[in-house]
Amino acid sequence: MGIVIRQSLLSSAASYLGVAIGFVNAVILMPKFMTPDQIGLFRTLLSAALLLSSFGRFGINSGLIRFKSLLKHPQTDLKSLYGLGILIVSFSTLFFLIILIIFRNSWADFYAEKSPEVNAYFVLLIVLTLELIIFQFLQTLASIHKNIFTANLLKDLVYKSLNMGSILLFATSIISFHTFIILHVCFYVILIAFLFFESIYKYKIKISFKPLPPNIARELIYYCGTLFISGLGLSFLNLADQQLVSRYLGLEASGIYMTAIFMVMVIEMPRRFVGEISTPIIAEAFGSGNLASINEHYKKASINLFLLGGLIYVLIIINLDNIYAIMPKGQIYKAGRYVVILVGLSKLINLLFSLNDGIISMSKYYHFNMIMTLFLGLVMIGSDIILIPRYGLIGAATALLVVFTLHGLLKLILIKMTYDFFPFTTKTILGALIILGLLLINHFIPILINPFIDMMIRSGLILMIFSFSIYKLKLSLEINQMINGLAKRLNINL
């Protein structure tokens, strides 16, 4: 777990600093200087680019990680594996572009009624999608070498800092909103250049287009095709609601919804870091047949992620009124209050299942991952189509909560039936009781008039109660070690 914790902590430090900047951007600066329509347009374009990039990747990211551990001659075959990966991404991206251009009118019709402004940025959307495909491919190369820090530093800290600069330029009327969007396409050029240096030059990665053994090449392409369908379903799960809110409710509602989504994205950030560095380790463990280590890793990840995510969720929920009081035009964005509560709960539940996707995608049962995820992705779209027109933003958030809970449960059942891995223990129940207890205690804390002071006192009390409870109950060895280390530096006897 050493490299997992070290890389995760480094990434977490950079990303949570990025979260602070992102919070200022999304909750303070953008609502102050932009209209909800402009925020909705910007977020819709970014969300659409992420969704479309899943077509171009064709599952190659997980494919490289899995097959790297299966190579018989790593020194020579690895270069060919990277070369084949580049060819797969290139052909799938070209095919995707041809299809997108052919059906451009259908794409335009999707947004025409409520969000026609999106169609004016079709070309920029394609460019941004291509940039994301390249960035994510380079990120995979870095992850294979067990380095997730640089990519997370770039996309979570550097990008958000550049975003803040562009917002301030827009606020002072130095640039127009159109230029503001164009700048974000330029930002990814900068990120790609830095990550290229980190992935290719620093690790001296060699790429060869010499063919791999036919059996490995066939298996890789088949595996990537399977993961492509699964990834497509996962993209529907994560991003379809955002596009359909724009489609049915318009860009103003989209701006409110995506601002609420941003508030709770921080909950799942630890899972992303642990997943990125754990997936190569899980692949190696499957390759060596060390299943016991995977199960142990599964349990530790589940309780640690649940406790950390639970604390973040509680801190967000108890301070919602303070956040909206501080936020410019908070009365407008308060319409997303229940979105924060419901979507935040879905993120927390997702942390309970910790490494479900990584374990299944690296195992021989990855086909089931494709079937389940695609099915649930389609269920998500169907639920959104039914619930959003009828119940608005709450309908979108409810669909997300229900489908993601089902998503985690089905994969948990598959892992239990095939490998007898199970992430939950009595510590999980105790952790859930602590989280519920913190929310109950919050109701007995007096409300102060000043939202800044109220937030500091309320959060401080909850944090102390949480830390004391976790430490005394010994729910997490890793968290206790961190508390002991901090106490030792501060000369505090526990």
| Structure confidence by residue, pLDDT tens digits, 298-338 | 888 888 889 989 999 999 999 999 999 999 988 999 999 99
Q: pLDDT at position 199, please?
A: 67
Query: Which segment of 7-16, 204-213, 280-289, 355-364 scores lowest on mean pLDDT?
Result: 7-16
Q: pLDDT at position 68, please?
A: 67
Residue 449's pLDDT band (cuts 50, 70, 90)? confident
Phi, psi (rounded to 5 degrees) for 361:
-65, -25
Q: Is residue 490 part of a domain?
A: no
For residue 330, give the 3-state DSSP assignment: helix
Q: Is residue 373 part of a domain?
A: yes
Q: Mean of the pLDDT values across residues 285-301?
A: 83
Structural domain harbouring 67 = 2-424
Q: Mean of the pLDDT values across residues 35-47?
A: 91
Residue 405's pLDDT band (cuts 50, 70, 90)? very high
Report how far residue 106's alpha carbon sits from residue 100's, in angstroms, rounded to the nearest whole number: 9
Q: Is residue 122 part of a domain?
A: yes
Task: Tell me which amino acid residue 53 is.
Answer: S
pTM: 0.81
Looking at the predicted structure, is the pLDDT value of residue 6 above 60? no
Would you say the C-alpha torsion 28, 34, 37, 38 has a positive or negative sign?
Answer: negative
Q: How many CA atoms lie within 13 A of 336 on its CB side?
A: 26
Looking at the predicted structure, is the pLDDT value of residue 108 above 90? no
Q: By C-alpha distance, which of 149, 144, 279, 159 is closest to 200?
A: 144
User: 123 or 141, which is more confident?
Assistant: 123
Looking at the predicted structure, is the pLDDT value of residue 1 above 50? no
Query: Which segment of 109-118, 382-391, 422-431 scores lowest on mean pLDDT?
Result: 109-118
Q: Is residue 459 part of a domain?
A: no
Q: Is residue 261 part of a domain?
A: yes
Highest mean pLDDT pick, 215-219, 295-299, 322-326: 322-326
Q: Mean of the pLDDT values across residues 22-51?
A: 90
Query: Which segment of 2-16, 197-211, 302-316 scores lowest on mean pLDDT?
Result: 2-16
DSSP string, 160-191: HHHHHHHHHHHHTTSS-HHHHHHHHHHHHHHH
Q: Mean of the pLDDT values across residues 413-425?
A: 90
Q: What SS3 string covers 16-59? A: HHHHHHHHHHHHHHHHHHCCHHHHHHHHHHHHHHHHHHHHHHCC
Q: Mean of the pLDDT values across residues 245-261?
A: 91
Would you say the C-alpha torsion 343, 345, 346, 352 has a positive or negative sign?
Answer: positive
Q: pLDDT at position 430, please?
A: 94
Q: Mean of the pLDDT values across residues 180-184?
A: 92
The CA dihedral of 121, 122, 125, 127, to the nearest 10 degrees, is: -110
Cβ proximity of 482 and 450 under 8 Å: no
Q: pLDDT at position 112, please?
A: 83
Q: Is residue 445 part of a domain?
A: no
Looking at the predicted structure, is the pLDDT value of residue 438 above 60? yes
Q: By C-alpha distance, which of 301, 285, 280, 8 is closest to 146?
A: 280
Q: pLDDT at position 12, please?
A: 61
Mean pLDDT of the chain: 84
Q: Is residue 477 part of a domain?
A: no
How large a percentage of the chain has pLDDT more than 90? 33
Q: Is residue 466 part of a domain?
A: no
Structural domains of the chain, count? 1
Report how far residue 434's alpha carbon sits from residue 438's, in angstroms, rounded to the nearest whole number: 6
Cβ proximity of 152 and 274 under 8 Å: no
Looking at the predicted structure, is the pLDDT value of residue 22 above 70? yes
